[in-house]
Chain A
Amino acid sequence: MTMKTYRQALHDTLRAEMLRDENVFLMGEEIGVFEGSYKITAGLLAEFGDQRVKDTPIAEEGFTGAAIGAAMLGLRPVVEIMTINFSLLALDQIVNHAAKIYGMFGGQAKVPLVIRTPGGGGQQLGATHSQNIELYYAFVPGMKVVAPSTPADAKALLLAAIRDDDPVLFLENLALYNTKGDVPDDDTPAEIGRAKVSREGHDLTLIGYSRMAYIAKNVADALAESEGLDIEVIDLMSLRPLDRDTLIASVKKTHAAVVLEDDWLTYGIGAEIAASISDGAFDYLDAPVRRVAMAEVPMPYSKVLESAAMPTNDDVITAIFQTLEAVGRRLKKVGQSHD
């Protein structure tokens, strides 16, 4: 184990994979000479040269599509899209091409592509630079979408993504880059399509991914300490495929769920989680599934407005207590009628 930041874990994993496999190469805006907008690729141009660390023009559709084409011929490009907001310029290449090529041609061409890109607000970057739109990609069959919340998972999922033969959108988060954690020294990849129970408990299931999984764990630990609550935390890790079984098993045990998401509530990933719980554990629920999500506005610039729009620890705590109150009311009612 080595203590390192999420940023360092990504950097070290990219470097190790480039050393391991010469087909792995990097493409993106400002990743070489500038060393990356968020410095994930610092030092890699100097070490590997400009054939394997390719600075691209500002042309997301062009270079993302080029990475797909290179992947079809067996290379393993890892594309950095500076933020997920800019991925919209490559939407056609990702949705209509990367995600389709394997199935549409009857399995004749694989697309072993990774698109690394950070989402997230909280940096006062305003409406076009603060979005969480991973849902757009998680919606599409043929894509794999992963979203680590810890440095260890960042490493394990990036290893899995690079070694996978399908297009993987690898979601990072601006607010997580400087977070620290123990990272295993061995290179065991995570299993794409599996969620992780990051804290076991019996009182309620708290579900999140990326930054909200980080918040979920912190809130659950704090409430155990201060309130003696026993909350189970599930880190989705993979948005497509979605590990519904782990969610359902947890809710069958806890009988209540709060879903945390940094995206907008309406049609958001939390809606899919809530619907899945309804399908798989309806009869086990003692309270409605509660969602905590961003306010449905374009992200404002002003700090006070931005903070008001984004989910906070307090929002999560409020949702947990209100859900537990609803559970209590139901238990009382059930107790009166059955006991």
Chain B
Amino acid sequence: MTDNALRKPKASAKTSGAKKVAAPVTAPRSTPAKKTTARPATATAPSKARATKKAPAKKVDTAQLVSFYRDMMLIRRFEERAARAYTEALIGGYCHLNLGEEAAVVGLMSALRDTDYLFTNYREHGYAIMRGIDPNRAMAELYGRVDGVSKGWGGSMHMFDMTHRLLGGYGIVGGQLPLATGAALAIQYRGLDEVVMCTMGDGTANIGAFHESLNIAALWNLPVVFVVINNGLGMGTTVAKASAEPEIYKRASAYAMAAERVDGLDPVAVFDAAQRALTSARSGKPFLLEVMCERLRGHSVVDPAKYRSAEEVAQLAKFDPVPALAHRLVHDKILTSAQVHKIDEEETARADAADAFAQASALPDVTTLFDYNYATPVANDSRRLPGDPLFAVVARPEVVR
């Protein structure tokens, strides 16, 4: 991803020993409950496992870790900036954020090759940016401007960029699964060494398209990785209340498909798991990867999440991957506290710049309303505006026939 490469400054892995971590500012700013380490009740109950594989003891790639942190911080600040613009009514529609899922997004996207494809759902801003799409164009899409990644036609839920092989955010739960399966079919048809990744939320595991698509993918040995981001909540409904088998990765066994569950708070674990999944898919064995995350805020910006208890919300900060990684970087003496803060400042500036770019971008000209009616123009394509008559009123000539 060349854009990403350009965006990221060289990671400076060598650091002098830092003694302290100043707590990074993260959302939500709730008081951590110090007594308990249990996960929020909604998250993964009744399953306790955060991962099906123990992380192997391997040498940490410090440059990668710093790079992950920068990416995660960009997503964090971008999403916070988007939330602010939304509450200021500068952007419309729905606005679903990746807050709490940054490690999962970064780990997954870093494992993809430039030639691989991504299909995702409506919670996709972070994915778009990590695929290499300029944050300016992602933010401009939220603002409905011409420079938006979908030219203002898609909005928050429908970002698309063929160049970076993001084949869409999709607003209908489960809608992207058959499409991703078909894209994998096209890759197989052409004998290419590419893979499709298809992400979804935990609620998607209960919809028919999930079953049909996993069955077809396994039946036809298609190069596709299905990724369930399990944040414990489908809007306000817990996984336990929606899924007869809440350990979603186990569903794969019904399709003779390999599967794994991984801790979504650890970007390296996610990256490694995604690589295993992609390698499997590239050899014609589709894969189901379940990534355990937390949703730090409501379903969308406007959702106050009153269905979560105060205790539960209080615990959420402990499962925030961004400060967790900051702590690790400093604790392991990979970065100094000052360097961590500098990254935060730089990515905050990046998010602010994206917002400024979006605000400065032009609104679409209404004369372009019919520009995308059809890819192949045809006769009698309707171009009438709501108030237009179908036909100009013509009086019948006063002729007796």
Q: Which residues of A contact B (CB under 8 A)?
A: 25, 51, 56-57, 59, 61-75, 77, 92-93, 96-97, 101-112, 141-142, 144, 164-166, 191-194, 238, 241-245, 248, 255, 276, 279-280, 282-284, 331, 334-335, 338-339
CB–CB B378/A279 < 8 A: no
Minimal beta-carbon separation of A167 from chain B (angstroms): 10
In-complex Cβ contact of A59 among B180, B189, B216, B379 (8 A): B216
Docked Cα-Cα span, A111 to B162, in Å, equals 13
Residues of chain A within 8 A of B182, CB atoms compared: 65-73, 77
Of residues 162 through 220 on chain B, the ones whose CB sits less than 8 Å from some CB of chain A are 162, 167-168, 170, 172, 175, 177-187, 189, 208-209, 212-213, 215-216, 219
Q: Which residues of B contact A (CB under 8 A)?
A: 117, 119, 148, 150-154, 158, 160-162, 167-168, 170, 172, 175, 177-187, 189, 208-209, 212-213, 215-216, 219, 371-376, 378-382, 389-391, 393-396, 400-401
Residues of chain A within 8 A of B375, CB atoms compared: 102, 107, 110-112, 165-166
Residues of chain B within 8 A of A280, CB atoms compared: 390-391, 394
Minimal beta-carbon separation of A275 from chain B (angstroms): 8
Question: Given A193-B380, A244-B380, A339-B400, do A61 and B208 touch, yes or no (CB 8 Å)?
Answer: yes
In-complex Cβ contact of A62 among B212, B372, B376, B381 (8 A): B212
Residues of chain B within 8 A of A69, CB atoms compared: 119, 167, 178-186
CB–CB B215/A244 < 8 A: no
CB–CB B215/A102 < 8 A: no
Minimal beta-carbon separation of A239 from chain B (angstroms): 11
Question: Given A59-B216, A66-B181, A105-B154, do A283 and B395 touch, yes or no (CB 8 Å)?
Answer: yes
Docked Cα-Cα span, A67 to B378, in Å, equals 23
Among A72, A74, A283, the one with the most B-chain Cβ atoms within 10 Å of its Cβ is: A72
**Binding site secondary structure of chain B:** loop
The 6 closest A-B pairs by CB, nearest first: A65-B178, A69-B182, A62-B212, A106-B151, A66-B182, A193-B379
Docked Cα-Cα span, A65 to B119, in Å, equals 13
**How many A-B contacts at CB < 8 Å in the complex?**
186
CB–CB A109/B167 < 8 A: yes
Of the A-B pairs whose beta carbons lie under 8 Å apart in the complex, a sample of 11, sorted by A's number, is A63-B212, A66-B178, A66-B213, A69-B178, A70-B182, A73-B183, A93-B179, A103-B153, A105-B150, A142-B373, A338-B400
Q: Which B residue's beta carbon lies closest to that of A241? A: B380
Docked Cα-Cα span, A243 to B213, in Å, equals 38
New A-B pairs, 16, CB < 8 Å, besides A65-B175, A282-B393 = A62-B216, A66-B179, A66-B182, A68-B178, A68-B182, A69-B179, A70-B182, A70-B183, A73-B117, A77-B182, A93-B179, A97-B179, A101-B168, A166-B375, A194-B379, A338-B400
Docked Cα-Cα span, A104 to B141, in Å, equals 12
Residues of chain B within 8 A of A74, CB atoms compared: 186
CB–CB A104/B150 < 8 A: yes
Docked Cα-Cα span, A71 to B162, in Å, equals 13
CB–CB A66/B185 < 8 A: yes
Question: Given A69-B181, A194-B379, do A61 and B209 touch, yes or no (CB 8 Å)?
Answer: yes
In-complex Cβ contact of A73 among B151, B186, B213 (8 A): B186
Minimal beta-carbon separation of B144 from chain A (angstroms): 11
CB–CB A166/B162 < 8 A: no
Residues of chain B within 8 A of A243, CB atoms compared: 379-380
Minimal beta-carbon separation of B153 from chain A (angstroms): 4
Docked Cα-Cα span, A65 to B143, in Å, equals 30
CB–CB B372/A106 < 8 A: yes
